[in-house]
């Protein structure tokens, strides 16, 4: 099976590594704008051959993965389709789908989006197991050829992922809701706080981890995110409008001093978070453990090590240093009653109070 | 100096411990509704004596700290003032100030709010060093007696904190912006995602840490947060309105497909976050290190231990497991160029790619 990969970075490189590891007869041909990075990809075993052009990469290919940034995808997919034979399925890995799928009506094209690796980039972070167990959305359209879709489906399975067919519009709303909107809110929050603080000439009060957590992704790389925001602008704008409506309700309940309504709203959010966390994670209910620890080098290690030795896995973790930077609160999320109980015991044995 | 502490939980207990440790002649008398918890506080050395009533606690006291939950504070402060002598300063530790300060016009009263310990509760988490280096807002009003304010100021300094005088209204806007609003947005985000996902019958896609980070504080305890939201409802409602305006601008820029405007907005947020983080932390610019690691028990420990041994302190940390739960991205925030460089080297030595 000859597989063409256009754009050999984190995702393209990982596709190459996974295909070469899991497919016996795979021959991966890569193409990218930078000859240097292409050489690097070959040196790392992500591709068998570096092509000199899109045409050369597509020659005889049965599948082609377009891995350009979202803004460059329509052009890259068109180039690939122009060079591809009749029996070649062309897909992409962009994080938004409707715009692209609407623009490309070729029967050999099926949109795709593996949910993996958003946090780093570059072929040096590529791994053969990047897609192990990952959802890989596929957005076939009315004209997509059945046999080509099936080939892509099997290919995605052999890369280790779980292909999930989804309508392009639904995909974009889903991603807007759980990824793009949180980024928008982080940006708004950080700019609003900067304005409030500058106006009052006050230092940023250390009020626990909420502000830090909520603004961690603020101002993410414009090179990546401007494209993502714009490519998904309709779904995202709709999500923002819904947020505006929800915020208006909260503001109204607050101004009315309506305790029951505020409490009910908060309880529903509590329940929603619990449901989402549990749906998200195998291994049972997620427990939140809060501990107070000295904030010196080595403490995180001490806690993590004690849990690691006992085979307790930390699902998520947050640190909140106290103002003196000498002590702090650590929050751990552990899945499953048994693991959480074990973690609680181990932390108590270390002498840290745990809630 | 006789100090009365009404409500001996995390904050009240820490005030008692700190006063007894740092003030040579301190005599701390505690009162609370639960005799059991009062006994516990005494057993832990947080108070010298347990009083049987507010009146008994205030007898001869020169300072009184009211440590009830926000909703119960007006009543507790009034009770304290009724029992206090003419030469006793009465303060509180509530997280919102305007409502209380407006309600209490007594010259012996000065509002207060130590920025510490929001993440745990109960006297078992109390520590003598809880306030070390912490900002402790004081909100004197027009009628506050100068000599009593000075006594409180010195007392707060001797507890280890940095007293900062601030107008009650400014305090509430500040807190609304960096604490209450992030909680509101987390609630809204989690409920909106639950609705989107339930509608589409789709699993929660693992799209990186943004959603998890942004919703970590969603549905925080209603017992605590309903009071906080309502006590600060005016400032919070104003902050929400401003957020609504900011979101409308984003939605407009998106619908217009205005790349420059979206990019400019994102860059401003990037700059705002950088400024806030640097203002927030001593030790120089905060560096963000992203690494790809196997997600097995012990890895967090391995990384934290290596950094701890080299005296590199981790300011903040986030884990984002990959879908297979076998690998993941870890993000570390390290303050200072030298420490960050050292961290980078150490992590590379462990064999993990770092960006």
Q: What does the pLDDT read at residue B200?
A: 45
The pLDDT value recorded for residue B294 is 75
More confident residue, B168 or A334: B168
Q: Structure pTM?
A: 0.71
Are B278 and B286 in contact by the 8 Å Cβ rule? The answer is yes
Distance CA B16, CA B3 (A): 8
- Tell whether B48 lies on the interface with A, counting CB pairs under 8 A: no
Q: Which of A53, A68, A171, A64 is nearest to A110 (CA)?
A: A64
* H-assigned helices in chain B: 10-22, 35-43, 54-58, 73-83, 98-103, 146-158, 168-175, 181-200, 210-214, 222-231, 233-255, 259-280, 299-309, 337-349
Rounded distance, CA A126 to CA A32, Å? Answer: 15
Partner A contacted by B260 (CB < 8 A): no
Give the pLDDT of residue A312.
77
Distance CA B223, CA B68 (A): 12
CA-CA distance, B269 to A16, in Å (whole number)?
36
Pairwise CA distance, residues B103 & B171, whole Å: 16
- Return all residues near B157 (Cβ < 8 A) that are at least 6 apart: B163
Question: Is-contact A193 B174, C-beta < 8 A?
Answer: no
Q: What pLDDT is recorded for position A195?
A: 85
A257 contacts B290? CB cut-off 8 A: no
Is B39 in the A-facing interface, judged by CB distances under 8 Å?
no
CB–CB contact B273 A132 (8 Å): no
Cβ neighbors of B231 (< 8 A, separation 6 or more) are: B70, B71, B94, B95, B96, B99, B100
Instruction: Find the radius of gyration of the CA atoms of chain A.
Output: 24
- DSSP-derived 3-state class of residue B151: helix
Task: Report the gap between the CA of A343 and the closest CA in chain B (Å).
Answer: 12
Select the more confidently predicted residue: A2 or B214: A2
Of B40 and B285, more confident: B40
- Better-scored residue on pLDDT, B284 or A250: A250
Give the pairing of strands B135-139 and B109-114: antiparallel
Q: Please give the share of chain B, as a percent, with pLDDT higher than 70.
A: 88
Q: Does residue B217 have a pLDDT over 90?
A: no
**pLDDT tens digit string along A296-313?**
666 776 777 778 777 777
Please tell me the total number of residues recorded for chain A in this structure: 355
Q: Where are the alpha helices (DSSP H) in A122-257?
A: 146-158, 168-175, 181-200, 210-214, 222-231, 233-255
Res. B232: pLDDT tops 70: yes
pLDDT classification of A79: cutoffs 50, 70, 90: very high
User: Would the pLDDT of A330 be above 60?
Assistant: yes
Closest C-alpha to B194, from A263, A269, A240: A269
Q: Would you say B306 and B350 are in contact if contact means Cβ atoms under 8 Å apart?
A: yes
pLDDT category at A38 given cuts 50, 70, 90 is very high
Of B213, B243, B246, the CB nearest to A217: B213
Per-residue tokens: B121: 């509760």
Report the C-alpha gap between A291 and B60 in whole angstroms. 37
pLDDT tops 50 at residue B282: no
Task: For chain A, say whether B268 makes contact (Cβ under 8 Å).
Answer: yes
Residue B23 at interface with chain A, using a CB cutoff of 8 Å: no
Its ipTM equals: 0.70
What is the rounded average pLDDT of the residues A338-355? 86
Residue A200 has what pLDDT?
45
Mean per-residue pLDDT for B47-64? 97
DSSP conformation letters of A132-163: TT-EEEEE--TT--HHHHHHHHHHHHHTT-EE
Enumerate residues 126 to 145 of chain A having a beta carbon within 8 A of any beta carbon in chain B.
Answer: 127, 129-130, 132-135, 137
pLDDT in tens, B18-27: 999 999 899 9
Select from B244, B193, B285 the least CA-distant residue to A275. B193
Q: Give residue B244's pLDDT.
A: 97
Phi, psi (deg, nearest 5) at residue B198: -65, -40
Q: Is A177 within 8 Å of B197 when comparing Cβ atoms?
A: yes
In this predicted structure, the answer to whether residue A183 has a pLDDT above a threshold of 80 is yes
Residues of B within 8 A of A137 (CB-CB) are: 205
- Among residues B62, B53, B57, B52, the alpha carbon closest in space to that of B26 is found at B62
Q: What is the pLDDT of residue B11?
A: 94
Q: What is the pLDDT of residue A186?
A: 93
- Residue A30: name the closest of A53, A20, A19 by CA: A53
Distance between CA B208 and CA B192 in Å, rounded? 18
State the average pLDDT over residues A47-75.
95
Round to whole Å and give the CA distance between A328 and A333: 17
pLDDT confidence of residue B280: 58
| Residue written as token pair 């600060």 | B232
Q: How far apart are the first and last CA of chain A?
A: 55
Q: Is the pLDDT of residue B70 over 90?
A: no
Rounded to whole angstroms, how far apart are CA atoms A233 and A235? Answer: 6
pLDDT greater than 50 at residue B254:
yes
- Residues B200-210 pLDDT 10s: 455 666 666 68
Chain A residue numbers with beta carbons less than 8 Å from the beta carbon of B311 are 297
Q: CA dist A158 to A20, A134, A161, A355, Å?
A: 10, 12, 7, 44
pLDDT higher than threshold 80 for residue B319: no
Using CA atoms, how far apart are residues A20 and A71, in angstroms rounded to an integer?
28
Quick one: pLDDT at residue B338?
83
**Quick one: pLDDT band at residue A292, thresholds 50, 70, 90?**
confident
- The DSSP output letter for A176 is I
d(CA A70, CA A237): 18
Q: B137 to chain A: which residues are within 8 Å by CB?
A: 205
Rounded to 5°, angle at Cα A38 from A34 and A41: 140
B249 at A interface, C-beta within 8 A: no
Would you say residue B173 has pLDDT above 70? yes
pLDDT 10s digits, A116-144:
865 567 888 899 999 988 889 899 888 88
What confidence score (pLDDT) does residue A326 get?
Answer: 56
Measured distance CA(B219)–CA(B315) in Å, rounded: 26
Q: What is the band of A282 on the pLDDT scale with cuts at 50, 70, 90?
A: very low
**Residue A146: pLDDT over 90:** no
State the nearest Cα–Cα gap between B186 and chain A, in angstroms. 8
CB-nearest partner of A237 from B124, B203, B255: B255
Decide if pLDDT at B325 tops 70. Answer: no
Contact of B311 with A296, CB cutoff 8 Å: no
Average pLDDT taken over every residue of chain B = 86
Residues forming a β-bridge with A292: A329
pLDDT tens-digit profile of B147-160?
888 899 889 999 99
A188 part of contact set with chain B, CB < 8 Å: yes
> What would you report as the CA-atom Rg of chain B, rounded to the nearest whole angstrom?
24
Question: Which residues of chain B have a CB within 8 Å of the CB of A294?
Answer: none
Please state, in angstroms and rounded to a whole number, the distance separating the CA atoms of residues B23 and B262.
55
Residue with tokens 């409920």: B191
Taken as a whole, chain B contains a residue count of: 355
Q: Chain B: nearest CA to A56, how far in angstroms?
A: 32
Range name among A75-89, A317-331, B193-207 with the lowest pLDDT average: A317-331
Please check whether residue A105 touches B, CB under 8 A.
no
Work out the angle at residue A41's Cα, subtended by the Cα atoms of residues A38 and A43, and round it to the nearest 5 degrees: 110
Token readout for B182 is: 């992030």
Task: Say yes or no to pLDDT of A145 above 60.
Answer: yes
Nearest CA of chain B to the CA of A347: how many Å? 14
Would you place residue B183 in the very low, low, confident or very high pLDDT band (cuts 50, 70, 90)? very high
pLDDT at B165: 83
Q: Lowest mean pLDDT: which of A40-49, A315-324, B176-185?
A: A315-324
The answer to whether A42 and A50 are in contact (CB under 8 A) is yes
**B36 three-state secondary structure:** helix
Q: Which two tokens mark B64?
A: 């009184």
Contacts 24+ apart (CB under 8 A), B103-109: B103/B74, B104/B74, B104/B77, B104/B78, B105/B141, B105/B143, B106/B81, B106/B143, B107/B143, B107/B144, B107/B145, B107/B148, B108/B81, B108/B84, B108/B145, B108/B148, B109/B77, B109/B81, B109/B141, B109/B144
């Amino acid at each position: 099976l000859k597989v063409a990969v256009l754009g050999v970075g984190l995702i393209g490189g990982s596709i190459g590594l996974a295909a070469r590891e899991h497919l016996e007869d795979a021959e991966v041909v890569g193409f990218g704008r930078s000859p240097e990075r292409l050489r690097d990809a070959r040196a790392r075993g992500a591709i068998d051959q570096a092509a000199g052009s899109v045409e050369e990469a597509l020659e005889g290919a049965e599948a082609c993965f377009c891995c350009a940034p979202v803004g460059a995808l329509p052009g890259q997919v068109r180039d690939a389709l122009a060079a591809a034979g009749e029996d070649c399925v062309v897909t992409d890995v962009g994080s938004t789908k409707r715009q692209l799928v609407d623009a490309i009506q070729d029967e050999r094209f099926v949109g795709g989006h593996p949910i993996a690796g958003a946090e780093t980039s570059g072929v040096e972070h590529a791994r053969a197991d990047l897609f192990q167990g990952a959802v890989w959305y596929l957005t076939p359209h009315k004209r997509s050829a059945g046999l080509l879709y099936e080939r892509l489906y099997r290919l995605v399975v052999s890369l280790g992922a779980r292909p999930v067919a989804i309508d392009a519009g639904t995909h974009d709303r889903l991603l807007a809701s759980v990824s793009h909107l949180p980024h928008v809110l982080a940006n708004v929050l950080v700019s609003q706080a900067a304005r409030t603080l500058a106006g009052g000439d006050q230092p940023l009060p250390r009020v626990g981890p909420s502000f830090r957590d909520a603004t961690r992704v603020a101002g993410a790389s414009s090179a990546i995110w401007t494209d993502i925001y714009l490519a998904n602008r309709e779904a995202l704008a709709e999500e923002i409008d819904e947020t505006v409506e929800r915020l208006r309700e909260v503001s109204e309940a607050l101004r009315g001093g309506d305790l029951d309504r505020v409490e009910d709203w908060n309880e529903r959010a509590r329940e929603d978070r619990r449901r989402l966390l549990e749906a998200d994670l195998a291994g049972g209910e997620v427990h939140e453990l809060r501990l107070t620890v000295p904030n010196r080098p080595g403490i995180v290690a001490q806690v993590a090590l004690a849990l690691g030795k006992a085979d307790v896995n930390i699902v998520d973790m947050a640190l909140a240093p106290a103002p003196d930077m000498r002590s702090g609160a650590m929050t751990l999320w552990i899945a499953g009653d048994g693991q959480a109980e074990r973690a609680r015991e181990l932390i108590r044995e270390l002498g840290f109070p745990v809630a």
